[in-house]
């Protein structure tokens, strides 16, 4: 165990050696257990961030670590010149969970978005014989930091310093079907959106909005891409957030909780899209779909099914929502709650940085989404007792705000 000074020295070392692209909290994490994290000084935190919606199963979930260790002793990597058993099994389980037809494994969410965009553009190219197509994305969306993913991210501040983005992307207002219709033209090849916006403020899509978009896509042979990287994998009470409404995408991205800590993502296509988009030579990745990452995916999906993880979300989420609503009720400076299931945000009339810092001091990890929104992404296995524990700590912090 280290003392406070030693932890501070580690942080100074980090700030000397790592490129400063994050303003990190002044904590060096050491290990996790269940729904709790511990820093290198031994301080314990209740975790309502879950590695940004990654640790759906919390830490040390029974059977998960063992499955990874077993795969390490077999083989970690094969390259995509060969087949491997975990990838074959993982793809099959993912098809079953999503109802999609084809899977391409990536190493991250941004890469899943890149692949989804390439698949959509290639589909239109195959049909039309030219490649000057356009994509419609949403304002306040977040799809990742690589050039392609950034090009569809609806935050001008993230894009501005990096100049021309690949392709032509037009931004519509989320949940405003007229603003989408106004952008559709003969060149439009895809519409991409999050079924619940994550970074942009925990805003769920209206089912009518999704239905109208699906209709436009069907009429004009435009591909609908749902980014389920944050809202997927059971977080909203359905395996994928769109499943609640039965409005199917042509292409879907997933990552974050897919590996529950092992970096892995995927994009999935329906057969119509797969049949006339990416073919051999069009796309690839060295690590994507390697046996280690896919062993994690297999184990995660097995656990979801055997231990009824989504049923648990459905049971605990209404209680969680009620607890958050009572905070909105109690404090004037909290304007509203937004979200679905275990993906929630509280909108403040002021920056939340101070609340987050004080909560951490009191042993609760929360993050923000934009400067004024407090974001809650607990592990999906969170208990009602842990919701109470969170609320007690947060209430203590909030009660001191003047």
Ligand X SMILES: *Cc1c(COP(=O)(O)O)cnc(C)c1O
Q: Are 87 and 294 in contact (CB under 8 A)?
A: yes
Q: Are 53 and 257 in contact (CB under 8 A)?
A: yes
Q: Rule CB under 6 A: say whether 114 interacts with ligand X.
A: no
* Residue that is written with structure tokens 């698949």 in the block: 119
Question: Which two tokens mark 296?
Answer: 């994690």
- Burial of 173-192, coded b for 16+ CB within 10 Å and e otherwise, reads ebbebebbeebbeeebbbbb
Site for ligand X in 238-267 (CB under 6 A): 255-256
How far apart are the C-alpha atoms of 382 and 307, rounded to whole Å? 14
Task: Give whichever of 373 and 397 is closer to ligand X, judged by the CB atom.
Answer: 373
| Residue 358: CB minimum distance to ligand X, A | 26
Task: Give whichever of 247 and 323 is closer to ligand X, judged by the CB atom.
Answer: 247
| Residue 31: CB minimum distance to ligand X, A | 22
| Residue 54: CB minimum distance to ligand X, A | 9
Q: Which residues contact 261 (CB under 8 A, 6 or more apart)?
A: 51, 54, 55, 296
Q: Rule CB under 6 A: say whether 375 interacts with ligand X.
A: no
Count of residues near ligand X by CB under 6 A: 14
Q: Rule CB under 6 A: say whether 229 interacts with ligand X.
A: yes
Q: Are 110 and 149 in contact (CB under 8 A)?
A: yes
Angle at 332 between CA 174 and CA 336, to 5 degrees: 20
Task: Give whichever of 196 and 274 is closer to ligand X, judged by the CB atom.
Answer: 196
The separation between CA 338 and the C-alpha centre of its own chain, rounded to angstroms, equals: 16
Q: Rule CB under 6 A: say whether 287 interacts with ligand X.
A: no
How far apart are the C-alpha atoms of 44 and 39, rounded to whole Å? 7
Task: Give whichever of 230 and 236 is closer to ligand X, judged by the CB atom.
Answer: 230
Question: Which two tokens mark 31?
Answer: 């290990």
| Residue 299: CB minimum distance to ligand X, A | 19
How far apart are the C-alpha atoms of 225 and 194, rounded to whole Å? 9
Can you tell me which of 84, 98, 188, 230 binds ligand X, judged by CB under 6 A? 230
Task: Give whichever of 165 and 362 is closer to ligand X, judged by the CB atom.
Answer: 165
Q: Rule CB under 6 A: say whether 200 interacts with ligand X.
A: no
Q: Rule CB under 6 A: say whether 143 interacts with ligand X.
A: yes
- In the shown chain, the binding pattern of residues 208 to 227 toward ligand X, with x for contact by CB under 6 A and - for none, equals -------------------x
Which range touches ligand X (CB under 6 A), out of 18-26, 57-65, 136-144, 340-348?
136-144
102 has which bridge partners? 269
Which range touches ligand X (CB under 6 A), out of 84-92, 139-147, 288-296, 310-318?
139-147
Q: Rule CB under 6 A: say whether 194 interacts with ligand X.
A: yes
Q: Rule CB under 6 A: say whether 340 interacts with ligand X.
A: no
CA distances from 109 to 113, 129, 204, 259, 263 (A): 6, 29, 20, 11, 9
| Residue 134: CB minimum distance to ligand X, A | 20
| Residue 146: CB minimum distance to ligand X, A | 7
| Residue 74: CB minimum distance to ligand X, A | 26
Q: Rule CB under 6 A: say whether 35 interacts with ligand X.
A: no
Beta-sheet pairing, 373-376 with 343-348: antiparallel
| Residue 147: CB minimum distance to ligand X, A | 12
* Per-position DSSP letters for 107-142, written without gaps between them: SSHHHHHHHHHHHHHHHHHHHHS----EEEEETT--
How far apart are the C-alpha atoms of 129 and 122, rounded to whole Å? 10
Can you tell me which of 148, 198, 204, 289 binds ligand X, judged by CB under 6 A? 198
Q: Which residues contact 83 (CB under 8 A, 6 or more apart)?
A: none
Task: Give whichever of 144 and 345 is closer to ligand X, judged by the CB atom.
Answer: 144
Which range touches ligand X (CB under 6 A), out of 78-86, 109-117, 304-312, 336-344?
109-117
Interacting residue ranges for ligand X, rule: CB under 6 A? 108-110, 113, 142-144, 194, 198, 227, 229-230, 255-256
């Amino acid at each position: 165990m280290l003392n406070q000074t030693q932890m501070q020295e580690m942080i100074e070392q980090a700030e000397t050696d790592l490129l400063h692209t994050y303003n990190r909290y002044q904590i060096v994490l050491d290990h996790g257990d269940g729904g709790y994290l511990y820093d290198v000084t031994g301080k314990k935190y209740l975790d309502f961030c879950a590695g940004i919606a990654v640790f759906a199963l919390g830490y040390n979930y029974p059977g998960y670590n063992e499955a990874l260790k077993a795969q390490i002793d077999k083989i970690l990597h094969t390259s995509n010149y060969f087949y491997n058993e975990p990838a074959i099994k993982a793809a099959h389980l993912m098809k079953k969970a999503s109802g999609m037809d084809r899977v391409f494994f990536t190493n991250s969410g941004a890469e899943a978005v890149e692949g989804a965009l390439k698949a959509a553009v290639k589909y239109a190219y195959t049909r039309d014989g030219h490649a000057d197509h356009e994509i419609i994305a949403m304002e306040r969306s977040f799809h990742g930091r690589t050039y392609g993913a950034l090009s569809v991210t609806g935050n001008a501040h993230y894009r501005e310093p990096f100049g021309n983005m690949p392709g032509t992307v037009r931004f519509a207002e989320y949940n405003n079907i007229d603003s989408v219709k106004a952008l559709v033209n003969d060149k439009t090849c895809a519409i991409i959106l999050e079924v619940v916006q994550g970074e942009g403020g925990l805003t769920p899509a209206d089912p009518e909005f999704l239905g109208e978009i699906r209709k436009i896509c069907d009429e004009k042979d435009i591909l609908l891409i749902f980014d389920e990287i944050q809202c997927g994998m059971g977080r909203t009470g359905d395996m994928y957030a769109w499943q609640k409404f039965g409005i199917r995408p042509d292409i879907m991205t997933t990552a974050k909780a897919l590996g529950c800590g092992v970096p892995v993502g995927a994009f999935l296509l329906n057969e119509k899209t797969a049949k006339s988009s990416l073919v051999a030579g069009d796309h690839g990745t060295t690590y994507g779909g390697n046996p280690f990452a896919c062993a994690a995916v297999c184990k995660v999906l097995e656990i979801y099914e055997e231990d009824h993880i989504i049923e648990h979300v459905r049971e605990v989420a209404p209680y969680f929502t009620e607890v958050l609503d009572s905070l909105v009720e109690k404090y004037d400076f909290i304007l509203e709650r937004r979200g679905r299931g275990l993906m929630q945000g509280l909108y403040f009339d002021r920056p939340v940085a101070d609340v987050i810092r004080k909560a951490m001091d009191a042993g609760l990890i929360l993050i923000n989404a934009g400067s004024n929104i407090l974001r809650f992404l607990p592990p999906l296995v969170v208990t009602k007792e842990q919701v109470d524990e969170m609320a007690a700590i947060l209430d203590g912090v909030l009660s001191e705000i003047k």
